[in-house]
Amino acid sequence: MLRHASTISENSSVFIKLPSDNVRFVTLKPNNTIHLGKFGSFLADDLFGKHFDETFEIYQPKKIRVLKTREVQYIEEEKKTNQELNDCRGNQLMTQEEIDELRANIKAGGLRAEEAIKQLTNSSKTFEQKTLFAQEKYVTRKGEKYLQRFQVLRPCVEVVANYMIEHDPYKILDLTAECISLMLTLGNVKPGGRYLVVDETGCMFLGSLIDRVAGDCKITLVHPNEQPNSSCLEYWGQDFKEDSLVQKGILKTLNWYQVTNPTETLSEYSVEDIPESELNEMKLRHRKRYETKKATFNRLKNTIDDFESGNYDALFILSIHTPMSVLQHLLPKLGISRPFMVYSTYQQVLVETYHQLSKWDNLFVEKTAQSTENDEKVDQGDVAIDTQKEKVIMLDIHEIRTRPYQVLPERTHPFMTVRGDMGFVLSGIKVLTSDSNLAAGRFPKRKGQKETSSVKKAKLEN
């Protein structure tokens, strides 16, 4: 289990939100100084033991303290408007040299940011003529430039996804937090499950899945390269790194060659058994090399055997490859009555996959041993082969589109500019068809039922 700590500790991975709404990723190492550019700097040791999601203020050089939350103040309606005001540089009486001097004093700790903002408002010709809403907006805008404050955010699906969308959206295939949440919900992700994942988003979705169940799951990751690209896992911390997940038994990895050619893969990595007597006579470096190869082979064999056994609880595909070329290899490994999801940034790709899956079927062979009279050994002739077909039902294409709102007293409205592309998800459920004919309707009554009905009719006539 990967439990989230309630407080910040050494070597914690955190996201720092600045007054300008920019977010930085930082690993808090002991005896280290965190630099925030024009917003100042502080010692990482001062954050240890503090709670996540709190707002801190740099009140002196490299000194921080928790900032108390302000209460919302309701403003009475006023008749004043900003219609006659002109926004120009001449409204500010302070020169640029004086403003630069204010910034230098703030950074040196000789002047508080609140006092500098107050001087700017006092030297503005039009500040008092503005409405209260406009005054608050002016102060907030200046605070984004001068206030030395920051908020420490805990790594989660929303924070990591928004950070990657702002910095490198193509690396994660434009995957948003809303899309991840929808896929986890449709996939019925819960603790204790086994999941098959194809993730080419830098393991952005993989980290979100593990975060959802706190590491209580078994995941097989299929990737196209020699080693999986797991660069996004570091944003959740040291416990989410690939080596740590493999060591804890949460993650197993296979590349496409190992998936499509399991026999050839095992023959390439196979190592002959050497008696213990010969091992004792070998040089130390040769023995270590043999033990390493033997452990690699055993680990790979266990992973392939687990993959071939199938019966996964859900299948998630986030890849740049054609979805059907991936599904034809992995869909047979999905358990019966289990969901699968395919993500793509293009709707047309999923529409073609939708039509191909509606005609897809796969031969399902299940061997069942018939019971004998003595319930002893079962001969080869007592094994019955039940042949059925696998199909998919409830196919649907979901378009993910959310619209954020500004929520303020008397100023609640949707944002005017939002992202236009938020991705599409194809979902479905794999089922097992039956060879027997199923029918519904009116059928002739049985003999006992006919006699009972005739007796009732005779009693009614009497």
Sequential DSSP letters for 302-316: HHHHHHHH--BSEEE
Place of tokens 């819960």: 190
Tens digits of residue pLDDT in 171-206:
999 999 999 999 999 999 999 999 999 999 999 999
Place of tokens 């303020």: 408
Three-state SS for 3?
coil
What is the spatial distance between Cα 78 and Cα 156, in angstroms, rounded to a whole number? 42
Per-residue confidence (pLDDT) for residue 28, from 0 to 100: 93
Per-residue confidence (pLDDT) for residue 320, from 0 to 100: 94
Query: Tokens at residue 136, please?
Result: 């608050």
What is the spatial distance between Cα 39 and Cα 150, in angstroms, rounded to a whole number? 9
CATH numeric code, 169-255+308-369+381-432: 3.40.50.150
Per-residue confidence (pLDDT) for residue 126, from 0 to 100: 79
Higher-pLDDT residue of 385, 301: 301
Terminal-residue alpha carbon distance, the chain: 75
Domain 1-75+87-154 top-level CATH class: alpha beta
Q: Is the pLDDT of residue 293 over 70?
A: yes
Q: Is the pLDDT of residue 43 over 90?
A: yes
pLDDT > 90: percent of the chain: 50
Per-residue confidence (pLDDT) for residue 448, from 0 to 100: 58
Mean pLDDT, the chain, as a whole number? 84
Local structure of residue 42 (DSSP, 8 states): E
Per-residue confidence (pLDDT) for residue 77, from 0 to 100: 56
Q: Which stretch of 233-242, 253-262, 419-428 has the lowest confidence by average pLDDT?
A: 419-428
Element (H, E) at 64: strand 63-66
pLDDT > 70: percent of the chain: 85
Rounding to the nearest 10 degrees, give the CA dihedral for residues 28, 33, 35, 41: 110
Per-residue confidence (pLDDT) for residue 372, from 0 to 100: 44
Q: Beta strand pairing status for 193-199 and 314-318? A: parallel
Per-residue confidence (pLDDT) for residue 373, from 0 to 100: 46
Q: Which stretch of 284-293, 314-323, 333-342, 363-372 has the lowest confidence by average pLDDT?
A: 363-372
Per-residue confidence (pLDDT) for residue 157, from 0 to 100: 94
Q: Structure pTM? A: 0.81
Q: Is the pLDDT of residue 453 over 60?
A: no
Written as one letter, the residue type at 360 is W
**Cα 66 from chain centre:** 30
Q: Is the pLDDT of residue 51 over 60?
A: yes
| Sign of the dihedral defined by the CA atoms of residues 389, 394, 399, 401, in that order | negative
Tens digits of residue pLDDT in 96-152:
888 888 878 877 777 777 788 888 888 887 787 788 778 888 888 887 777 888 999
Give the confidence band of 383 by pLDDT, cuts at 50, 70, 90: very low
Average pLDDT (316-344) is 96
Q: Is the pLDDT of residue 380 over 50?
A: no
Per-residue confidence (pLDDT) for residue 37, from 0 to 100: 85
Per-residue confidence (pLDDT) for residue 381, from 0 to 100: 47
Q: In the chain, where are the structural domains located?
A: 1-75+87-154, 169-255+308-369+381-432
C-alpha closest to that of 56 among 152, 154, 153, 155: 152
Tens digits of residue pLDDT in 409-443:
777 888 888 777 788 999 999 999 876 655 566 65
Average pLDDT (80-109) is 77
Higher-pLDDT residue of 236, 288: 236
Average pLDDT (245-264) is 94
Mind spelling out the 3-state secondary structure of 332-389? HHECCCEEEEEEECCHHHHHHHHHHHHCCCEEEEEEEECCCCCCCCCCHHHEEEEEEE
